[in-house]
């Protein structure tokens, strides 16, 4: 067995049994033996992803497309899965959670119709990828993750990538973030069985919320608030991890 295969095998063992320090050490060694032109390859894959998976499916907002072209999705998944980062499916990120399919990220972002000055709340930080996309499109992003390991990891990565307009909180997304409400837009990246009332209340008048709702069968919903009246539109069937409640 050559060195690279041996390191990847150890990497898988660490990922399975949660041996944190050894996991990070193996990850660093795998990184050291990857090709020097890796970033150029990922950039090419990212461009192909946008062209074939997102723009070809009807996402036309140039700002959304440019954000998807810019944010390095591969940095938001475990090293073992980075070669699949720009494929047309979700990927595991640990703690039983996933990073959404690229098209779904783009679609949900597009539905918010961001112009650049909005204050956005995200429920379900996960890897931090969706927050990074939002941060390319507006000035203020507040994101909540209920799992401490993911919240800490995402906050560290987003800071390392230079994002200064994202605030990460470890907490219960069902409660929203009243301190900073109301929000011009809310995006939920995990599925509650019903729309949380706190999020509806914290949505600003004229605001938009995108949220998957349901248990076994889920529907992506667009919620608009106007004159304190709520309008709900079903967009497409989806499959998200369940929204966790404390």
How far CA 211 is from CA of 104, 117, 214, 245, in Å, comes to: 11, 21, 10, 16
Catalytic sites, residue numbers: 100
Write down the pLDDT at residue 216.
85
What are the structure tokens assigned to 12, written together? 């898988």
Q: What are the tens digits of pLDDT across the range 35-91? A: 558 889 999 999 999 999 999 999 999 999 999 999 999 999 999 999 999 999 999
Quote the CA–CA distance of 202 and 214 in Å, as a whole number: 21
pTM recorded for the entire structure: 0.85
Write down the pLDDT at residue 9.
53
What is the pLDDT confidence band of residue 5, given thresholds at 50, 70 and 90? low
Q: Hey, where are the domains in the chain?
A: 1-34, 39-238
The correct CATH number of 39-238 out of 3.40.50.360, 3.20.20.210, 3.30.360.10, 3.40.50.150 is: 3.40.50.150
Q: What are the tens digits of pLDDT across the range 124-156? A: 999 999 999 999 999 999 999 999 999 999 999
Write down the pLDDT at residue 245.
86
């Amino acid at each position: 067995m050559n060195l690279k295969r041996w390191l990847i095998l150890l990497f898988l063992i660490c990922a399975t049994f949660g041996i944190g320090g050894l996991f990070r050490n193996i990850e660093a060694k795998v990184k050291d033996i990857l090709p020097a032109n890796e970033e150029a390859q990922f950039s090419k894959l990212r461009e192909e992803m946008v062209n074939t998976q997102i723009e070809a499916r009807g996402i036309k907002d140039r700002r959304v497309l440019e954000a998807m072209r810019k944010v390095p999705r591969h940095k938001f998944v475990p090293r073992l899965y980075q070669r699949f980062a720009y494929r047309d499916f979700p990927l595991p990120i640990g703690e039983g959670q996933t990073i959404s399919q690229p098209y779904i990220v783009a679609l949900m972002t597009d539905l918010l119709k961001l112009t650049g000055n909005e204050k956005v709340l995200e429920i379900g930080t996960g890897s931090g990828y969706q927050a990074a996309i939002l941060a390319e499109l507006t000035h203020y992003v507040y994101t909540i993750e209920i799992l401490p390991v993911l919240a800490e990891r995402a906050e560290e990565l987003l800071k390392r990538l230079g994002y200064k307009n994202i605030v990460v909180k470890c907490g219960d997304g069902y409660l929203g973030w009243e301190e900073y409400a109301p929000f011009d837009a809310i995006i939920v990246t995990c599925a509650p069985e019903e729309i949380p009332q706190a999020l509806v209340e914290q949505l600003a008048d004229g605001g938009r919320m995108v949220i998957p709702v349901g248990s076994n069968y889920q529907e992506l919903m667009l919620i608009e608030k106007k004159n304190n009246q709520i309008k709900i539109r079903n967009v497409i069937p989806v499959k998200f991890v369940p929204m966790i409640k404390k």
